[in-house]
Amino acid sequence: MTKKVGKGISLFILLMSFTSFGQRVPLGTWSNHFSYKEIVALEFGDDKLFAASKNGFFYTEISDNSIHRLSKQKGLNDVGITSLKWFEKEQKLFIGYQSGQIDILSTEEIQNIPTISELQLQTSKSINDFAFADLGIFVATDLGIAQVDLNTIEISDIYQEIGINGNSVAVSEIEILDDTIFALTNQGLIKGSINSNLLDFNNWINDSINEYSSLTLWQDTLFAVSSLNEFGYIESNLFHHIFTFPNTIQINGSKESLVIHTSNSIWTYVNRAITKVDLPGSDRNISKAISVSDRIYIGDKESGLRLIEGIESSLSPTGPLTDGISNVNFGSDIFISYGETFGGYFVPEDTLGWSATDGNEWRSNELPEFSNISGVVEFRSKTFISSFSDGLICLDSDQNIQTFFEGSIISDMKIATDRLWLSVYDQSSSIYSSSDGVVWESMSSGSVGSRFPVKFEVTDNQVLWIIRSLTEGRGLSISFPENSQVLLKSTSSGLPSGSINDIIIDGTDELWVATDNGIRFFPTASFISDDDEAFSPVFEGSLQSTQKVNTLEVDGGNRRWYGTDKGLWLFSEDLREEED
């Protein structure tokens, strides 16, 4: 079946017309690649707007809207930012992480406070908010309130059992007005004097009348949102109602105005007047909003950082569409596909298409009526795109699409031994290969040890490694071209989990295995026996050996790329994390 493609596919051909990827990306130049689409925190300071996505961090200069990314390779100590707060007096940005780490960013350096993250406690240590006083910095955490001594840059106290009757509390927001700390906790709003013994829960007063969902300090007034979506302010222990909104709202005080927002609407509060902001379009999912120089900046959960100034424009760096990467393939570009890791018949609908990057910019692509992308490769000057539900299409240089295995589940696709290989799920012939991408040769499911292949690898001497599905008991099957022998490998062979997400053969013939419980490898893929077991690598860097890994890839420099729920990671051949 052959048909002419339209304008969307023409754009795809144009974007794929680059020089060799290996030539464009020298060794040692890439590290991790995060999505900047889901904004979780915004803060303004030093004429910069700082923004954190789920795993990334960047800032934009207000003067010219230039965008600058920061990462662990540039001095940050973690990923997974949960809070940002600018300290005007010290000209420093405080960065809180889900792990309990705290970074302090200034123009001269990045200081780190690891104390909370290092506590030997099996509970959440998330850093949720900061407030500033002459005595130091007070930090809202899931463990209570921590106090930072600005002279030593260390945690001086942690106030945990400050709830009702001395119960432990998790603190989501914190503000300081005059000498009083207001803390929004899982037990309600509490307050205490910074001049008292804050370790004693008797010195904390609980507001037993009102329930609040959000706090912000603006123009020396503590504003709040009640659980009934009532907007108002707290004064003399009383909540003074201003306006009731029909939907759940959040508030954020900035220098010029207080911003109120729902998931799709924004208001400003200035001079005791609430004014709705005219937003172009309607398709948005607002997580944060801030007003700077009469401009509204929106942190969206799906489209990143947006500037509203008459028209709407994007200020997020380019990157993957999400951090949930399911597949990575190399060609003239790196091709990334998304969605859940394939494990059987049930495939959650994924209409994101795929992304491609040449080492500088990221581009997103999709095809009408072709979803659930399982892989993208370049073979014989054509682009092949496989699907977990729609079979395989081939895109040639004349902008024609040819369809193969229509309606089949193509669970994996790759180039090996100068051939294009496919695994087709639940078919009597489960492995196919082609020397030209047109005529296909099949291998029976019995000869390869799997009717339900999830993913596979092929060695230079055509030893076939297959990830088996849950239907077949998971693990790996290994078949040999010279005979009908089939070997099985699972947890009894040194694998940390039977839930295997990907496998890859590197440039030294090592077979790497990505599981729900980390990475393992077999020293040789081409010559494997029933007695051989998998080994555990030792990583030098932030990727943990027990962390879930969804996908693997090896480039021409024998560097390993690991796609995880926290982004795309790159390690050199000796497992050191690459730097920018």
Question: Using one digit for the tens of pLDDT, what is the confidence trace for 196-215?
Answer: 999 999 999 998 788 999 99
Residues with pLDDT less than 70, the chain: 1-32, 340-341, 343-348, 539-545, 575-580
User: Residue 344: what pLDDT?
Assistant: 66
Tell me which DSSP letter residue 202 carries: G
Residue from 24, 72, 68, 74 nearest 360 by CA? 24
Residue with tokens 């581009």: 363
Distance, CA of 108 to CA of 123 (rounded, Å): 34
Q: For the CA atoms of the chain, what is the radius of gyration?
A: 27
Q: How far is residue 342 CA from its own chain's centroid?
A: 19
The H-or-E segment that residue 508 falls in is none
Contacts by residues 542-546 (CB-CB < 8 Å, ≥ 24 positions apart): 542/72, 542/78, 542/79, 542/569, 542/577, 543/569, 543/571, 543/577, 544/518, 545/518, 545/519, 546/496, 546/517, 546/518
In 3-state terms, what secondary structure has residue 362? strand
Distance, CA of 172 to CA of 163 (rounded, Å): 14
Tell me which DSSP letter residue 355 carries: E
Q: Beta strands 188-193 and 180-185: pairing type?
A: antiparallel
In 3-state terms, what secondary structure has residue 343? coil
Distance, CA of 257 to CA of 329 (rounded, Å): 47
**Cβ contacts of 272 within 8 Å, gap of 6 or more:** none
For residue 385 the two structure tokens come to 């795109």
Tally of CB atoms within 10 A around 204: 23
Distance, CA of 466 to CA of 269 (rounded, Å): 60
User: Residue 536: what pLDDT?
Assistant: 87
Task: DSSP for 138-173, please give it.
Answer: EEEETTEEEEEETTTTEEEEEE-S-SGGG----EEE
Tell me which DSSP letter residue 317 carries: P
Distance, CA of 214 to CA of 245 (rounded, Å): 14
Q: Beta strands 551-554 and 110-113: pairing type?
A: unpaired
Dihedral sign for Cα 235, 239, 245, 251, please.
positive
Tell me which DSSP letter residue 342 carries: P
User: Residue 323: what pLDDT?
Assistant: 79
User: Residue 59: what pLDDT?
Assistant: 96
Distance, CA of 340 to CA of 548 (rounded, Å): 13
Residue from 86, 81, 62, 85 nearest 70 by CA? 81
In 3-state terms, what secondary structure has residue 38? coil
Return the amino acid letter for 521: F
CB of 194 closer than 8 Å to CB of 176: yes
The H-or-E segment that residue 24 falls in is helix 21-24
Distance, CA of 144 to CA of 126 (rounded, Å): 10
CB of 134 closer than 8 Å to CB of 143: no
Distance, CA of 471 to CA of 126 (rounded, Å): 39
**Cβ contacts of 92 within 8 Å, gap of 6 or more:** 86, 104, 105, 106
Instruction: Look at the chain and count its residues.
Output: 580
User: Residue 562: what pLDDT?
Assistant: 83
Tally of CB atoms within 10 A around 171: 27
Dihedral sign for Cα 71, 73, 76, 79, please.
positive
Return the amino acid letter for 164: I
Q: What are phi and psi of 225, to 5 degrees?
A: -120, 125
Distance, CA of 371 to CA of 412 (rounded, Å): 15
User: Residue 543: what pLDDT?
Assistant: 55
| 30-52 tens-digit pLDDT | 456 788 999 999 999 999 999 99
CA dihedral 529, 532, 533, 534 (to 10 degrees): -70
**Cβ contacts of 71 within 8 Å, gap of 6 or more:** 31, 32, 34, 56, 57, 580
User: Residue 21: what pLDDT?
Assistant: 40
For residue 199 the two structure tokens come to 């370790």
Strand partners, 401: 3, 395
CA 353 → CA 1, 169, 177, 273, distances in Å? 22, 43, 49, 45
Strand partners, 289: 298
Query: For the chain, what is the total number of helices (H) and then of strands (E)?
Result: 3, 51
